[in-house]
Amino acid sequence: MKRSIWLGILGILGCLVGFTETVSPQAKPLKIRLGVHASIMGAPDVLAIRQGYFKQAGLEVEHRKFFLGKEGRDAMIAGAIDINATAPTPFLIGLDKGVPYTSVAVNSMICAATHIVALKSSDINSVSQLRGKRIGLPKGTITEYVFMARVAPSYGLKSGDFQVANIPDPKDMMPSLIAKAIDMASLGEPYSAIGEHDGTLRIVEDYCKYDPLPFMLTATNKVIKENPDAVVAYLRGWLRAVKFLKEEPQKAAAVYVEEQKSLGREVPVAVIDKALQRMKWEPDLTPQMEKYLVDQAKDLLSGAGEGRVNTMPDIAKALNRDLLARAKAAR
């Protein structure tokens, strides 16, 4: 009698073990907390979310919007997000400050989508006319660094020859120009294309002859260590969105227009298409990109850009090419 009771209990336990195996953690969706850039650099993330590419890669995404890459970086420091795109200057500053993150891909090259602009009614046609005037720049960003270290000096201008207004949010640049609070501005897409379309501003020049302005796709070391499959799934969905942007640009622009509508902007598809076409999507962390980051860090270390880096970061250690390679192989 006792033997049959014990056999029954063992049978029940066996069933329970079998049940727990069928709902193992591997069967649950992978999860990522994502920082989405509100400017054009965030377009692949927006498309992947709206088109369901992340879901189709088996990934559950919780996302937050940021207007500057460094804001997303700071959210990573606080442990609030896992993945974010940021420019080299805040990326290198973060490494110098010991932020535990790694670059897993190049989000984009934005030099042709980043402009020095003036009001269309202004008589300013060159940066050389900035002497004694004021320009709007977002402090602590790659655009501020490149403007101060390369653009202004190329026109014989020193920092004391003009004033800088710190305007972090790009949507505040246009009102500041119209109010004559600034005479010029450094402005990215889609704001430049929108300003051109409505006849408010004129592009003086872009940044391409000074710097390619790459944006680095970064992930916290914690998520890379504890959940690398989630990072790979993210990259799979993100790469699919990049492919969509390259192969069907007008369709991609139409989807991105819906995002602009959700932000209260009514923008024609042709305007967004123009803005997106100015972007370069080149995900690989090439040897040339590694050299660029090393050179950038040396500049910051030697005092350029207000000497923001105190020690030389280990760039090679801060780049992870394996996860992107896995994502490409899985597509």
Q: What is the CATH number of the domain that holds 146?
A: 3.40.190.10
**Residue 87 identity (one-letter amino acid):** A
In-domain check, residue 18: no
Q: Are residues 90 and 232 in the same domain?
A: yes
Return the SS3 of 123. Answer: coil
In terms of domains, do 130 and 247 share one? no
Q: Which pLDDT belongs to residue 2?
A: 39
**With a cut of 70, which residues of the chain have pLDDT below it?**
1-29, 303-307, 331
If asked whether residues 80 and 228 sit together in one domain, one would say yes
Same domain, 137 and 59: no
Domain count, the chain: 2
Burial class (CB in 10 A: 0-12, 13-18, 19+), 32: buried
Does the residue 269 lie in any domain? yes
Do residues 74 and 46 touch, judged by C-beta distance below 8 A?
Answer: no
Q: Are residues 56 and 154 in the same domain?
A: no
Residues 239 and 321 in one domain: yes
pLDDT at 39: 86
Contacts 24+ apart (CB under 8 A), 236-239: 236/53, 236/57, 236/327, 236/330, 236/331, 237/48, 237/53, 237/54, 237/56, 237/57, 237/59, 238/44, 238/45, 238/48, 238/53, 238/105, 239/283, 239/327, 239/328, 239/331
Residues 127 and 153 in one domain: yes
Please give the residue range of the domain that contains residue 173. 112-206
Question: Do residues 167 and 300 both lie within one domain?
Answer: no
Give the CA angle between residues 210, 304, 36 to the nearest 5°. 65
Out of 163, 186, 206, a domain closes at: 206
Give domain status of residue 61, yes or no: yes
- The DSSP code for 276 is H
Could you count the other beta carbons within 10 Å of the beta carbon of residue 81? 24
Residue 53 is inside which H or E element, if any?
Answer: helix 53-56
Between vectors from CA 262 to CA 260 and to CA 268, what angle results, nearest 5°? 35
Size of the chain in residues: 331
pLDDT of residue 142: 85
197 and 152 share one domain: yes
The per-residue pLDDT for 28 is 53
Examine the fold and report which residue of 178, 206, 234 is the final residue of a domain before the chain moves on: 206
Whether residue 263 is found in the same domain as residue 234: yes
How many angstroms separate the CA atoms of 170 and 267, rounded? 16
